[in-house]
Structure 1
């Protein structure tokens, strides 16, 4: 089955529509580059699902930090978001979306980020957990990123961090850029641990994340053969995926596709993505008057403000009445003949 003939189910279309109706062109475009930086677990996840997962992790950490630092009996009832949902308003939606994008730029798991971000703010004297928009604002973002990246590097030294998504299993390899990127990450992680045979056996034999020819090239035949001889673990069972489960996270996100971009031109789903986003753009333009709904709302609000301003100015200006009266002749001197 060609990529262009892969069916798109209704829930997926609805997620694309919700995103398109709430995001600016800038935020949609960023999803393309974020696909190459976000943590590997999220690279095949629709951004709506990823933002929802981020919101869930945010809420869990919010309540846990509240119980530990403020009041244990209040923690369970804390909503963290307006009306208890990150989708309750456009403001809350945008704040959570941008916060999730900030985490994706750093390439961190959402639970790890939230845990350390809350700790960062509380140590700086905040009297309550940070709101989503405070995580990425210009004042907080640089020191927060520095703090969390240092923590992440230390975490990686202590733990073997790789993704176990079936999309990275060799049985589902389809030459996708993200699959190559994860293999590069696996090689780097093994190298940092002195190419221990046990780790080589784990990623090649047990987890099936790295092909043997790549392992031979990166670690040397002798070391790989030794690893395979010592391997005692059972290979992970293959989880065969449907073609649509290999779609990248930026697929069908309005404004994310760009034909001249290398990521899009090399993507096996690029042609299908272009057609879907063109159809989506037409629908949004008909509904909002612009393919960028945020820009359309801004123009509409500007027109409303100008109209109200002119109305107020018209009401406030005094009316001028010109009374035409005949000039008085009292006291006039009649000129001499």
Structure 2
């Protein structure tokens, strides 16, 4: 089954792997169970990843994993060495899994293990609606508390059920103390096309406003920053509430 990309694209998009390569990897190395999990989780995933192919999103996850890995390695083991460590190499993983690269069985096995480990971690982050940096940082934090080995946790260590429960709880707490915003230009009101992911983002902003002590002020801020359409806000608020929002807009 083709893995569709949302119908928007901007200069903020990362360099894309082709949809053909995405489908090749999914069809040959990702189980049917995991494929179904991706279909279920698309509407939950963090907004900046909804325009990506599954493979591209996994690439982003790997990049973030590498950044956080180096930071924790520097803190726990060796600061100088940490600067030169690259725990995952996306291009080498793809090269080993392409048809012309499958001559060496050991490399294929290693590449598949790394890919699937990151794929599964990325899926869990998507299902939680969590930005990858938040998810991976929390996953490392909770895993390291029980970590007794002399090496760093690998991608397949970062989605233990116990840790995921803790991550989900902490993610909900973080939303009340920090405002998480999408960066993709498709979520600016001037690019609004009534797409599902855009409407989902508006619901996210309404929710974030309600988590704070003065929702009207936050709604006004979102309008002023071109994140929420005025018309949608007006249809969602009664007259007294809208008048309060208007005062903040002046």
Q: TM-score, normalised by structure 1?
A: 0.59
Aligned to 1:63: 70
Point out where structure 2 has 5 or more consecutive residues left out of the alignment: 1-6, 8-15, 97-110
Aligned to 2:237: 219
Candidates 185, 192, 214, aligned match of 1:166: 185
Asked if the contact 1:39–1:108 (Cα under 8 Å) also holds between the matched residues in 2, the reply is: yes
Is the aligned partner of 1:130 residue 2:149?
A: no
Candidates 108, 118, 130, aligned match of 1:96: 118
Aligned to 2:228: 210
1:167-220 deviation digits (Å, cap 9, x = unpaired): 2222322332222221111111112224433311121232x2322233234333
CA spacing shift, 1:152–1:55, aligned 2, 3 Å: same
Larger radius of gyration: 1
Aligned to 2:133: 111
Between the two proteins, the alignment pairs up a number of residues equal to 220
Aligned to 1:319: none
The offset of 1:121, in angstroms, is: 1.4
Q: How does 1:257-272 map to 2 (within 5 A)?
A: none
Asked if the contact 2:59–2:90 (Cα under 8 Å) also holds between the matched residues in 1, the reply is: no
| RMSD, matched Cα | 2.6
CA spacing shift, 1:83–1:49, aligned 2, 3 Å: closer
Q: How does 1:1-337 map to 2 (within 5 A)?
A: 11-81=18-88, 85-87=92-94, 88=96, 89-127=111-149, 128-136=151-159, 140-141=160-161, 143-206=162-225, 208-231=226-249
Asked if the contact 1:187–1:218 (Cα under 8 Å) also holds between the matched residues in 2, the reply is: no
The offset of 1:33, in angstroms, is: 1.4
**C-alpha distance in 1, partners of 2:143/2:158?**
9
More helix by share: 2
Higher relative contact order (CA 8 A, sep 6+): 1
CA spacing shift, 1:103–1:65, aligned 2, 3 Å: same
1:79-137 deviation digits (Å, cap 9, x = unpaired): 3248995545222222211121121112111111111111111111333321111223x
